[in-house]
Amino acid sequence: MANFQGHALPGSFFLIIGLWWSIKYPLKFFHEKGKKSRLSQQQQRLEVIEAAVRTVFSVIGILAEQFVPDGPHLHLSHENHWVKLMNWQHFTMYLFFAISGIIDMLTYHSTHIVPLGVDRLIMAVAIFNEGFLFYYHIHNRPPLDQHIHLLLTFALFGGSISVFLEVIFRDNIVLELFRTSLVILQGTWFWQIGFVLFPLFGAPEWDQKDEHNIMFITMCFSWHYVAALCIVAANYSLVYCLLTRMKRHGGEIIGIQNLKSDHTYQAALLSGSDEE
């Protein structure tokens, strides 16, 4: 859907997932530090729910691309002409994310069947596929339109490589936070694309051939990433503060002692032990 809504919809999806991850992964990280493998059952259920939500998002995207009034309604060709290829390409992107969601559900639901890491592989493939389609999507467009989509592929290919690394280095909090920040970046950038290409509320059109606009947009992409990093950092701190307070007020599980002992461990790591 080449309009503002068509960019706001996936933008919101990615933003929601990114924000959720920026809560989930710090939570998981502090829990694991506090006490080993305790939330097993609960956590697994949570992962299944998350994957289900992601699948639902993708299915909404699929349906929206096909059945909006000016969509292809599942017609691929008509009298030797391809019908609404743009919508079909977006459909394909959502399709991969739907598959990734389903695989995630299976992985966490039937842990003894699906080998660990397949979920990350398929997620990496889905993200790569989005970048791949975008890359060949933007020929014959005005320079600014082309560039603003090209910037997106940086987030996508970077994310794809990072998620692929998780196949081998699973449960690495740094890679997980990196992925989180890139997903948030993607979300906000989709909104930015919408605002630039389809100005709302009578805002002036952007001159799509002005070199200065392209320079600004490049820099703006960096600023979005700064914002994404700030969001991740803020939520991370929030989780830490909440967990610390819950501990202080009694009823909860993660011990500051545990965190402290871990502190000693990390301090040891920092100062001169050969852990390579």
Question: What is 68-123 written as a DSSP string?
Answer: STTS-TT--EETTEE--HHHHHHHHHHHHHHHHHHHHHHHHHSTTTSPTTHHHHHH
Nearest distance from C-beta of residue 197 to a second copy, angstroms: 18
Q: Which of 21, 57, 97, 132: binder of a second copy (CB under 8 A)?
A: 132
| Tokens read off for 62 | 């699929």
- Span interacting with a second copy, options 12-20, 63-71, 86-94, 191-199, rule CB under 8 A: 86-94
Instruction: Say whether residue 212 binds a second copy (CB under 8 A).
Output: yes
Using a 10 angstrom Cβ sphere, with 0-12 exposed, 13-18 middle and 19 or more buried, the burial of residue 123 is buried
List binders of a second copy among 244-273 (CB under 8 A): 259-260, 262-263, 266-273
- Main-chain phi, psi angles of 251, to 5 degrees: -60, 0
How far, in Å, CA of 93 to CA of 128, rounded? Answer: 10
- Considering only residues 165 to 204 of the shown chain, the ones binding a second copy according to CB under 8 A are 167-175, 177-178, 204
Residue 9 CB, shortest distance to a second copy, in Å, is 20
Between 9 and 103, whose beta carbon lies closer to a second copy?
103
Chain position carrying tokens 């939520």: 235
Instruction: State which of residues 16, 20, 23, 32 lies at the interface with a second copy (CB under 8 A).
Output: 32
Total of residues contacting a second copy (CB under 8 A): 85
- Report how far residue 46's alpha carbon sits from residue 180's, in angstroms, rounded to the nearest whole number: 17
Among 2, 38, 70, 73, binds a second copy (CB under 8 A): 38
